[in-house]
Structure 1
Amino acid sequence: MLRLLNIELHKLKYSKSVKIISIVYFSLICFIALIVSIEFNFGGVKFRVADQGIFNFPFIWHFNTWVAAWLKLFLAVVIVSIVSNEYSYKTLKQNLIDGLSKREFLASKFLTVILFSIVSTIFLFLVSLILGLFFSDYTEIGIIFSDMEYLFAYFLKLICFFSFCMFLAIWVKRSAFALGFLGLWQVIEGLIAVVFQWLKVKRDIDLFDSVYNFLPLNAMSDLIVEPFTRFGAVQSAASQLGENFDKNYDVELTTVLIVIGWTCLFVYWSYALLKKRDL
C-alpha cells in the first residue's frame, strides 16, 4: 500500500495544478473562518458573527463541517485530473506495461482519495478547534469533544464524493466531461426531487424516503444537515413568530450505511470498467 501511495505522491509532487487547487481549497477554509471573525460596523453598530455563538462548542463542529463540505468541489477537480491525466498522457498504459496491475492502479487512486479526505478532515479539525478555543463560551473538555460525529460524517462524505469523481473520470476519461457529468447528475437529482414533490402534493405519493434519499448526492448531503435552524438565535426568532423547527440534526446511521454502500459501488464500478477495457 505504501508503494502504491508513493507512486501517486510522486506524480502529485510535480503537478502545479494540484498544488494550486489544494492551496486554494485549504486557504478558503481559513478565509471563511477569517470572514466570520471580522468585526463589521453598520451605522455605528459593531457586529461580529463570531460573537453570536456560531463558534461555540459543540455547535462549531456541525457548522464548520457543513460549510467546508461545499468546498469539496476544489479537491474533486484534483481527483478527476489525476485520473483523467493517466489517459491523456498514456501513463496508465505505461504503468501496466511496467508491471502495475489494474487492481493496484485503482488501489493507488483510492488511497489518494483517502489521503485527501484524511488531510482535509484533520485540517478542518485543527481550524475549528482553534476558532472554538478563541470564541466559544464553553471550553470544558466534555463539551469541546462532543458532537465529533460530524467530523466522521465529513470524512465519509469526502470519500464517497471523491470516489464518485474517480468513477466518472475512469468512465469518460476526460476531466471536462467528468466534471460536466457531475454537474448534470446534480441537475438530474434536482429534477427528480421536483417530480417527487409534485407527486406528493398532487397524488399523495411520497417517494422521498423510499427512493430519493437513496440517490448518491442527496445521501451525501443528508449526512450533515444544514445547521442554521439549529442556531439559538434563529430558533428564538422562529419561536416569537410561532414557528417550530422539527428537524433531526444527528448523523443518521441509515444515511451512513447508504453512503458507504455508494462508495463501495463506485470503487467496484471503477474496477469493472478498468478490467473490461483493453488499455
Structure 2
Amino acid sequence: MLRLLNIEFHKLKHNRASKVLSIIYFGLLTSIALIAAIKFDIGPVKFHLAEQGIFNFPYIWHFNTFIAAMFKFFLLLVIVSMMANEYSYKTLKQNLIDGLSKKEFILSKFYTVIVFAAISTLFVFVVSLILGLIYSDFNELSIIFSGLEYFIAFFIKLVGFFSFGLFLGILIKRSAFAVAAMIVWLIIESMFKGYLYWTFRDLKMAAGAEVAKIMQFFPLEAMANLIKEPFTRLGAVKSVAKQIGEEFVADYSVHVFDVIIVLIWTAIFIVLSYKLLKKRDL
C-alpha cells in the first residue's frame, strides 16, 4: 500500500495544477471560519452569525461537514486530472512496463482517493473543533463528542464521489470531459427526480416520500442523503418558522442504509474502473 501511495504522490508532487487545486480546496475549507466574522450592524439591528448557534456543539459537526462537502469538486478535478495525465504523459503504460499490474494501478488510485478523503475529514474536524471551542455555548465533553457520525458520513461521501470521478476519468480519459460527464449525470438525476414528482403529483404530501424511496438508490442522491441540509435544524430558523405558522419536521441523522448504498456504489465504481482498464488496449 505504501509503495503504491508513494508512486502516486510522487506524480502529484510534480503536477502544478494538482497542487494549486489542492491548495484552493483546503483554503476554501479553512474559509468556513470566516463565517464567524459575518456581522451586520445597521442602526438598532445587530446581527452576528456566530451568535446564532451555528458553531454550537454538536450542531457544528453537522453544519461544517455539509458546507465542506460543497467544495469537493475542487478535489474531483485533482482526481480526474490525475487519470488524464496518465494517458497524456504515457505514465500508465510506463508503470505497467515497469512491473505494476493493472490491479495495483487501480488500487494506487483508490488508496489516493482514501487518503484525500481522510485528510479532508481530519482537516474539517480540526477547523470545526477550534471554532466550536471558541464560539460554542456548550463545552461539556459529552456534548462536544456527540454527533461525530457526520464525519464518518463525510468521509464515505468523499470516497464515493471521488471513486465516481476516478471511474469517469478512466472511461473518458480527459479531465474536462470527465467533470462535464459528472455534471451531466447530476442533471440526469435531477431531471428524473422532477419526473418522479410529476408522476406522483396526485399523492400530494406523500409524493416526496415516494420519490425519496426511488432516488435514494442513485449514486449522487445517495451521497447527498448521507448529510442532510442543516439549516432548518437551527434554532433561529425554527423560531422564525413558528412565528409564520410553519414547522420543520425532519430527520437529520446519518442512516446506516444510506452508508451501505454509497459503499456499494463505491465498490461498483472501483470494480468497473478495473474491468475497463483490464479490457482496454494500452
The TM-score range, normalised by the shorter chain, is over 0.9
* Map of 1:244 onto structure 2: 247
Distance 2:119 2:89 in 1: 27
Distance 1:47 1:210 in 2: 40
CA deviation profile, 1:63-93 (whole Å, cap 9, x unmatched): 0000000000000000001011101111101
Distance 2:87 2:34 in 1: 40
- Check if 1:116 corresponds to 2:125: no
Structure 2: stretches of 5+ with no match in the other structure: none
Distance 1:113 1:85 in 2: 16
* Map of 1:271 onto structure 2: 274
TM-superposed deviation, 1:44: 5.7
The secondary structure found in structure 2 opposite 1:250 is: coil
CA deviation profile, 1:210-255 (whole Å, cap 9, x unmatched): 4211000000000000000000011111122222211100001111
Distance 1:224 1:38 in 2: 24
Give the partner amino acid of 1:132: G
* Map of 2:235 onto structure 1: 232
The secondary structure found in structure 2 opposite 1:10 is: helix
Distance 1:110 1:148 in 2: 25
Distance 2:156 2:175 in 1: 23
TM-superposed deviation, 1:161: 0.0
5 Å-filtered alignment, 1:143-162, equals 143-162=143-162
TM-superposed deviation, 1:12: 1.0
CA deviation profile, 1:129-188 (whole Å, cap 9, x unmatched): 000000000001110010000011000000000000000000011101100100100100
Distance 2:175 2:243 in 1: 50
TM-superposed deviation, 1:32: 2.5
* Map of 1:52 onto structure 2: 52
- TM-score where L is the length of structure 2: 0.96
TM-superposed deviation, 1:31: 1.5
Is the Cα–Cα contact under 8 Å of residues 32 and 64 in structure 2 kept in the other structure?
A: no
Aligned residues: 279
- TM-score where L is the length of structure 1: 0.97
TM-superposed deviation, 1:278: 1.2
Distance 1:25 1:43 in 2: 37
* Map of 1:134 onto structure 2: 134
Q: Which segments of structure 1 move beyond 3 Å, counting only runs of 4 or more?
A: 43-46, 202-207
Q: What's the Cα RMSD here?
A: 1.4
Distance 2:18 2:10 in 1: 12
* Map of 1:192 onto structure 2: 192
Distance 2:281 2:244 in 1: 64
Distance 1:41 1:233 in 2: 18
Structure 1: stretches of 5+ with no match in the other structure: none
TM-superposed deviation, 1:202: 4.1
